[in-house]
Structure 1
Amino acid sequence: MPTEPGSTVRYRGPVVLRRDRSKDMTTTDQRLLDRRGRSDWVHSDPWRVLRIQSEFVEGFGTLADVPQAVTVFGSARTPVDTPDYRVGVELGAALTRAGFAVITGGGPGAMEAVNRGASQAGGYSIGLGIELPNEQGLNEWVDLGINFRYFFVRKTMFVKYSHAFICLPGGFGTLDEMFEALTLVQTRKVTRFPIVLFGSAFWGGLVEWVRDTLLASGKIAAADLELLHVTDSVEDAVEVILRASEERGRAAGNPPSVETAGSDTAGSDTPESDTADEDGR
């Protein structure tokens, strides 16, 4: 639309301001260097974009050299003196012996158990934490840890640097992360990787509902149900992951190697979801 004669035109970077919108005559440099004023601008959406960008940069830079890894999800509310906690420790150690780094949400409970098992076995124990109202911090068994502000940035890191997901019993957060991974694989947003549900008694009802309701009503295909592997055996869970890793290596014409970074495998495509997650993970 042509500018009316006599109207003022101002340029603020790539933004064009005309008429009443052009009355702010200060420059970007002036606003940067001028005396300190109100600080509410740091909470504005444009500023949040830079924070989001910085979290991606920090995450990509920190995790770029991580060897092939497996992400394990599970409840933050799992007590130490329970079978689920002991399974987590055993699983972390078994993944380490199989040559994988271990990634968790870095919190207490099942996440702590897996980090503990990996660390005690001499493995690479990674925790990707999240800012929560009742912040508990990263557990003491994390060797490499990053704390994120945004769930969707954190979940990108889980997917990008993992060869597989294992879901121990957990709450809404674990369900969200499991279904996000499942959706990305089903829609081929990422190269297919294993999704293991550990604990048939815990996960059996959900899998039954998926089969008897979603599949029966035509909401998913029969092949989609095969994306989930349910087991009660640590050895079986690790074997599923090793077998999938070998198949990827053959498909790529290269044998699998623990020196290969996770970004070259399952999660090389960045997920596009920005949904929130996690309540009682």
Structure 2
Amino acid sequence: MADLQHSGDKIVLRNGYGIPCIGFGTWKLPNDEAGQGAVCQAVRDGYRHIDTAAFYGNEDMVGRARAASAFSHEDLFLTTKVWNTERGYEQTLAAFEKSRKKLGLEYVDLYLIHWPAAKGADTAWQRTNQETWRALETLYLDGLVKAIGVCNFKPRHLEPLMEAAEILPMVNQIELHPGCNQEETRAFCERHHILVEAWSPLGSGRVLENEVLRDIASAYGCTVAQLCIRWCLQRHAIPLPRSVDAGRIAENARVFWFDISDEDLRRIDGLDPLGQSGLDPDTVDF
């Protein structure tokens, strides 16, 4: 990703579709004018990739922000996700249509399974994931989505899904930030040409006071947030930072003027567990 120069520069997915290298996350953004203002501010600051989900309850706000921008859909990349209560073939198709209408789109750029089914007998949860994935394949083949993928899938969830799939996942969105390396999942995705996206790339702000990160950031003349975002990019993941502060929204997209050295990348990789959400797809109860 050394050739990336701007947040709107694209990385090519396994199917040839381009995805902007930094996304703007919308988790917990309100479904009102304040949320719309944050998304519009992000677009003005160069973000061309907006990430939402049915569960966030703000798809219609994201749709309004897109419509209010100076850009057509072809110039903006929109992601949304199917929630856990809508897993299954017919349920996922219906959930997608609701999301598409809220977003006001003819098609969605990227559609993801938000969390894997992971509990109970293997045959049951694997079948649930496979049937949900079959719906995403249908949407893709029908041209209603340009790319499909998953969120929060570990290798043990991906393997049975991929064995049954006709179209392999193009993206896996996972919690990823300094102190939460996800080395096993990242290595699996790299082997199988699945692009990793990083939700909570700043550890929900909990990593920003870490002394090692502050020391490294000081040496580069950047903020700790910029360092974390740059680390994601250099670890071949698309970061999805979120903020409602105009200054931070702009700052988080300005990470292309420096490169983290191999030595400093290893220092960051070696941090003890830090800033993790505690959400494990094998144990979550939602």
TM-score, normalising length from structure 2?
0.38
TM-score, normalising length from structure 1?
0.39
Decide which structure has the larger Cα Rg and report it: 1
